[in-house]
Amino acid sequence: MDPPENIGIDDPGHLGLLYIHWTAPASLTNLTACSMRYHLEYFNTYQSRWTVIRTVRTWYRAQFDLEKEVRVRISTLLKGACTNGTELKSPFTQMVLPPNNTGPVGSRVQGFGCVFYQKEFMECTWETGLEEPTQSQYSLYFWHREMEQAEECPQYIHSNGVRTGCKFTEESLSEFSDFNICINSSSPKVVLRSAFFSLQIQNYVKPAAIETVHLEASPDRRLQVQWDLPNERIPSHCLEYEVEAREEGVGGQPLLQRNVTNEMTLTSLSMDGARRKCFRVRSRMHHYCADRGLWSDWSHWSCHSDTESDAVVGCAVVIGIIISMLILSLFGWALWRKWKAREGEMMPFGPLHKLMEYSKGLSARSHFNKTRENQ
């Protein structure tokens, strides 16, 4: 069985997205008793492994790093009555394209990186090559699936008159799509080497720094840490948070602790001997919404002095003592009333003038009893 024929790889100018095409083998074009499909493999240089595709079409689009060799191989798969129900596979036909790495290696840009700030704009920056000649200038071109052709950077970033970056507005960006970039350089003296990059920009989001961290102490010497999100376009469920706690003891070194949480609050256990507790928070994209993310800048430190919690605890202790004394007093008073009731001398509980009348009655009765005894 013959492999596919007329294999070709075309570059439509999408900075790495190539169009692979082929035709069915001539020996199988009139075959009707079997179904035919194709086994395509291409070497994914971003993942350093072969990617396998099975399709009935005679074309496929795949992303490649144009600074490296492009390797593609295809075979024919046949199954049906003509093969007694067994799937047969032809030998591979393959095609290899060498990279077009013209220019000195040292003329390629270095230190390329991108940051997608708050999902509002993205900045990509680079450093000049080690062998960058004078009077040369860098140019950046980009493409994604919502564009027909590659376009040049909408707004360059300059340093000392040299282009060292590009700023992309929200309108020029596309998430969950290959965002292809080419940076080349022109020089009147020599051809310089181009650099190619392919990004998923949702993996380069950097949230805004958290502005406010609230601390609230409870009587059991715990601290409730809460924070407010800045006004940005990233949904709260797409963020995770790292809380760093610093506790300052009496004579030792500050103790640092870090916790990662999906909630916007954290309860901190109080530590014995700590005089002052400080907290700061930062955030990044959670893996629910991106493969990875960049940490935001830290918030400012928010601190709580332990003397404040001691005052709260002291007040609670004083209140507890007062309540205990009141309970004991009421218990003693109840016992006294019960004892007086048994002697028949229970003094009624009433207003002051009734108490005075009752006292006079007792005095008169006592005087009458003494007179009778003298008689």
Q: What is the CA radius of gyration of the chain?
A: 42
What are the Cα distances from residue 105, in Å, to 162, 195, 305, 339?
Answer: 20, 10, 58, 107
The string over 206-242, giving b where at least 16 C-beta atoms fall within 10 Å of a residue's C-beta and e elsewhere, is bbbebeebebebeeebebebebebeeeebeeebbbbb
pLDDT value of residue 352: 46
Antiparallel, parallel or unpaired: β 162-169 and 156-159: antiparallel
Q: Is residue 227 in a domain?
A: yes
Contact predicate 307/314, CB 8 Å: no
Do 162 and 121 fall within a single domain?
yes
Determine, yes or no, domain membership for 326: no
Q: Show which of 97, 127, 152 is a domain's final residue.
A: 97
The total domain count for the chain is 4
Asked if the structure places residue 318 within a domain, the reply is no
Greater confidence, 99 or 350?
Answer: 99
Residue found under tokens 């014995």: 272
Per-residue pLDDT at 276: 79
One domain, residues 231 and 191: no
Domain assignment present for residue 329? The answer is no
- pLDDT value, residue 103: 80
pLDDT at 368 over 50: no
Q: Is residue 193 a contact partner of residue 104, using CB atoms and an 8 Å limit?
A: yes
* Tokens found for residue 48: 């350093």
Asked whether residue 109 falls in the same domain as residue 199, the answer is: yes
φ and ψ at residue 356, rounded to 5 degrees: -65, -45
Verify that 123 and 200 share a domain, yes or no: yes
Cα 368 to the center of its chain, rounded Å = 95
pLDDT of residue 349: 46
Could you list the residue range(s) of the whole structural domain that residue 162 is in? 105-205
What is the average per-residue pLDDT within 113-123?
96
Question: Of 269, 291, 311, which residue constitutes the final position of a domain?
Answer: 311
| 22 pLDDT tier (thresholds 50, 70, 90) | very high
- pLDDT > 90? residue 187: no
Q: Do 111 and 183 belong together in one domain?
A: yes
pLDDT for position 325: 83
**Is 327 part of a structural domain of the chain?**
no
Sequence-distant (6+) residues with CB within 8 A of 253 are none
CATH (domain of 271) = 2.60.40.10
Tens of pLDDT, residue by residue over 202-216, are 999 999 999 899 988
pLDDT in tens, 224-234: 899 988 888 89
Residue 319 lies in a domain: no
Q: Indicate the pLDDT class of residue 253, thresholds 50, 70 and 90.
A: low
- The residue from 62, 97, 132 where one domain ends is 97
CA 206 to chain CA centroid, Å, is 9
Distance in angstroms (rounded) separating the CA atoms of residues 277 and 249? 9
Contact assessment for residue 151 and residue 141, using Cβ atoms and an 8 Å cutoff: yes
pLDDT of residue 329: 80
**Same domain as 201, residue 216:** no
Residues 197 and 109 in one domain: yes
Average pLDDT over residues 304-322: 64
